[in-house]
Structure 1
């Protein structure tokens, strides 16, 4: 019997706490305009988890939701405004922002929406036009 590793995370003020369990489906960097604008950063570090691996353990009533598109339901803390995660129902995954899981060993494997980048990162990882084909994208690579 194997025991799944769990990691604790929270919003900026701690009013919302959660755990993620097991291993993420994928990790990487998103360069799309929506992620850049939402995070107020040139790139977003993501970890994608199956919904059953993400459990809000405190402060669910403090979570606000905004969806600009039906593909992404962005979640934040109503107290501090700290971003927590984004539900992607079409992919069947939740993006828990890498920065809010402090003890998790983040190991990116891909850059997505790289044609929209404002920050070129030459790290040898695959750079995709959108997302991998198995997640509904084209899977088309672009130059680093």
Structure 2
């Protein structure tokens, strides 16, 4: 499969890549794998995530793009840049499956913000510790009150006020 995402991502020809986790959309048309644990995981409460996910918050595990490799479905990806309101792959952007509509990830300039619920951990109770959220972001715009001991940031982690 041609790596249309360019050199930031691993390719199927990369013999050094060893898959650690696999993920797919609801219908299975889009599949990818990662070769490392996430560098961080967070829960975002920003209004953009709320509206685009139809949920009160978004849980994401963050990977370097070089640790991500698509195994199927590149032709099914749909992109949306919410800042410019453009259905194009203008980074940063949202990534969805064009067949079933599943949100796949948020693609940043250097990072891939994957949604842990798409990974196959065998059972939801088997989510690895590295995928557990370390904080809440944009907590001031939350619509529900999570009861946990995680740090709650007004904006981005370590770049905003800790609430």
Q: Structure 2 length as normaliser, TM-score? A: 0.77
- The CA deviation string for residues 52-111 of structure 1, in whole angstroms up to 9 with x for no partner, is 11111101011010001266310011111111111121xx21110111113152311110
Find the structure with the greater CA-based Rg: 2
Distance in structure 2 (CA, Å) of the matches to 1:37 and 1:108: 21
Q: Distance in 2 between matches of 1:31 and 1:44?
A: 7
The aligned counterpart of 2:26 is 12
Task: Tell me the distance in 1 between the aligned counterparts of 2:91 and 2:138.
Answer: 15
- State the distance in 1 between where 2:68 and 2:33 align: 6
| Partner SS, residue 123 of structure 1 | coil
Matched, 1:141 2:141: no
**Offset, 1:5:** 5.9
CA 81–115 in structure 1, closer or farther in 2 if over 3 Å, else same: same
Q: Which moved more, 1:62-71 or 1:49-58?
A: 62-71
- Aligned 8 A contact 2:77 2:98 in 1: yes
CA distance in 1, matches of 2:31, 2:80: 19
- Give the unaligned 5+ runs of structure 2: 1-16, 84-89, 122-126
Query: CA 1:52–1:4 in 2, change beyond 3 Å: closer, same or farther?
Result: same
| Aligned position for 2:6 | none
In the alignment, structure 1 residue 78 sits paired with structure 2 residue 98? yes
Aligned residues: 134
Aligned to 1:22: 36
Root-mean-square deviation (CA, aligned residues, Å) is: 1.7
1:59 aligns with 2:73: yes
- TM-score under structure 1 length normalisation: 0.86
Distance 1:37 1:22 in 2: 30
